[in-house]
């Protein structure tokens, strides 16, 4: 009987059955056991391989202490010598996805061990690792676990046996942006004409070069009289009160904050930025450079606008998924509309 291949599995604190957000700060730990999705994955590969252990790490700990977390995880992998590493699936959980993606990159680059993970297509972790790891395309929530694990297991079996993977749409993974030479019966010009004719006749056809689809947002009607308008300040630049009381993430934000500025003429020394990905020096020196409350107050005093809305809204934009961005915008917009706000100054970094 051929020797069974070995898999090392990575999960966050929730799927590692340690706890939810209250345990998101736990340091990484290795257990020689199949825990959470690793258990179901092990059943799917048991005829050919086995999961030899599970690494568990809190989402917050990894994203806030990436170097220390990666050092521990890479050492655990080196000591246990797996044939392949599996992370997730992270679905649409941004912090979890970023951890899975960063681990995948480090394992492939530093240890030359293949990695398979699973994410929803809008998870920010996809772009982090899809060039180096195979990212199975999964649903946006853990309700899709039963469908996700078999796809990942089939991909793992092929990779371990060094069998070539088929096209993404057949195998169930997210395209890596690679173009391969293939032989077909019809030349390109003929295929193009056939697709054009099918389109003109409203018949179904499949493009060979799918283009990205972007949301189109209809612009709101202009404000008729700014001198009577209530204007709110919203930013994705990570400007928060000192101490970050709501623990908004510096990247891959899972939440937004709302703070009372009714008695403030500027953000001043009470605020700073927790946003990752840009130099915070000038924003911390004067947070109004990112969220210009001082200018809005001046416009209010000059009568250029009616008044500044009493609350200020903030989150971080870097790595934040499209899904969460839509969710944040919908929630904040609902509050502002119900409060009778006429317009918003929306700033980034």
167 falls within a domain: yes
- Whether residues 125 and 48 fall in one domain: yes
Residue 129 dihedral angles phi and psi, to the nearest 5°: -125, -5
The confidence score (pLDDT) of residue 180 equals: 73
Peptide bond into 89 cis (omega under 30): yes
- Whether residues 140 and 15 fall in one domain: yes
311 falls within a domain: yes
DSSP secondary structure, 294-324, as one string: HHHHHHHHHTSSSEEEEEEEE-B-TT--HHH
Cβ atoms of 27 and 3 closer than 8 Å: no
- Whether residues 156 and 276 fall in one domain: no
Residue 213 has pLDDT above 90, yes or no: no
302 burial type by CB count under 10 A (0-12 exposed, 13-18 middle, 19+ buried): exposed
Of 153, 171, 189, the residue at which a domain comes to its end is 171
Length of the chain as a residue count: 349
- Whether residues 147 and 238 fall in one domain: no
Q: pLDDT class for 94, splitting at 50, 70, 90? A: confident
Of 128, 146, 171, the residue at which a domain comes to its end is 171
- Whether residues 145 and 41 fall in one domain: yes
Q: What angle (nearest 5°) sits at the alpha carbon of residue 198, between those of residues 192 and 203?
A: 145
Residue 175 has pLDDT above 50, yes or no: yes
The better pLDDT of the pair 166, 304 is held by 304
The confidence score (pLDDT) of residue 289 equals: 96
Domain containing 16 equals 5-171
- Whether residues 155 and 233 fall in one domain: no
Task: Using the CB atoms, write b or e for 269-292: b if 16+ within 10 Å.
Answer: eebbbbbbeeebeebbeebbbbbb
Residue bearing tokens 């394992």: 107
The percent of residues above 70 in pLDDT, for the chain, comes to 99
- Identify the H or E element spanning 158: helix 145-160
213 falls within a domain: no
Mean pLDDT in residue range 309-317: 96
Least confident window among 130-144, 206-220, 302-316: 206-220
221 falls within a domain: no
Residue 1 has pLDDT above 60, yes or no: no
151 falls within a domain: yes
The percent of residues above 90 in pLDDT, for the chain, comes to 74
Residue 314 has pLDDT above 80, yes or no: yes
- Whether residues 255 and 144 fall in one domain: no
pTM for this model (two decimals): 0.67
- Whether residues 137 and 250 fall in one domain: no
pLDDT tens digits along 69-89? 999 999 999 999 999 999 989
Q: How far apart are CA 223 and CA 208, in angstroms?
A: 45
Q: How many domains does the chain have?
A: 2
- Whether residues 230 and 156 fall in one domain: no
- Whether residues 12 and 147 fall in one domain: yes
The better pLDDT of the pair 180, 335 is held by 335
Q: What average pLDDT does the structure give for the chain?
A: 92
Mean pLDDT in residue range 190-204: 94
- Measured between its terminal Cα atoms, the distance across the chain in Å is 59
89 falls within a domain: yes
- Whether residues 161 and 15 fall in one domain: yes
The confidence score (pLDDT) of residue 299 equals: 97
What CATH number should be reported for the domain holding residue 57?
Answer: 3.40.50.2300
The confidence score (pLDDT) of residue 115 equals: 97
86 falls within a domain: yes
154 falls within a domain: yes
Q: How far apart are CA 128 and CA 271, in angstroms?
A: 30
The confidence score (pLDDT) of residue 2 equals: 63
């Amino acid at each position: 009987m051929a020797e069974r291949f070995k898999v090392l599995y990575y999960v966050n604190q929730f799927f590692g059955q340690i706890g939810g957000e209250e345990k998101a700060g736990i340091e990484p730990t290795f257990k020689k056991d199949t825990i959470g999705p690793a258990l179901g994955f092990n059943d799917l590969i048991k005829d050919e391989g086995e999961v030899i252990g599970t690494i568990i790490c809190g989402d917050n700990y990894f994203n806030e202490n990436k170097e220390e977390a990666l050092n521990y995880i890479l050492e655990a992998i080196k000591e246990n010598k797996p044939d392949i590493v599996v992370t997730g699936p992270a679905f649409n959980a941004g912090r979890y996805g970023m951890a899975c993606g960063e681990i995948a990159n480090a394992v492939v680059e530093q240890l030359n061990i293949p990695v398979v993970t699973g994410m929803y297509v809008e998870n920010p972790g996809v772009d982090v690792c899809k060039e180096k790891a195979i990212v199975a395309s999964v649903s946006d929530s853990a309700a899709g676990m039963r469908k996700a694990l078999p796809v990942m297991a089939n991909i793992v079996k092929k990779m371990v046996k060094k069998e070539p993977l088929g096209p993404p749409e057949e195998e169930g993974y997210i395209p890596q942006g690679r173009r391969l030479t293939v032989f077909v019966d019809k030349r390109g010009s003929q295929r193009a004409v056939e697709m054009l004719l099918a389109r003109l006749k409203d018949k179904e056809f499949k493009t060979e070069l799918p283009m990205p689809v972007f949301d189109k947002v209809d612009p709101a009607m202009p404000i008729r009289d700014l001198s009577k308008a209530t204007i709110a300040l919203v930013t994705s630049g990570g400007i928060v009160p000192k101490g970050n009381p709501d623990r908004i993430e510096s990247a891959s934000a899972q939440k937004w904050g709302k703070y009372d500025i009714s008695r403030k003429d500027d953000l001043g020394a009470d605020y700073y930025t927790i946003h990752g990905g840009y130099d915070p020096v000038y924003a911390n020196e004067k947070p109004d450079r990112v969220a210009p409350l001082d200018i809005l107050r001046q416009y209010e005093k000059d009568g250029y606008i009616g008044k500044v809305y009493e609350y200020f809204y903030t989150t971080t934009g870097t790595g934040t998924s499209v899904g969460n961005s839509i969710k944040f915008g919908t929630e904040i917009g609902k509050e502002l509309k119900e409060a009778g706000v006429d317009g918003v100054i929306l700033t980034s970094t």
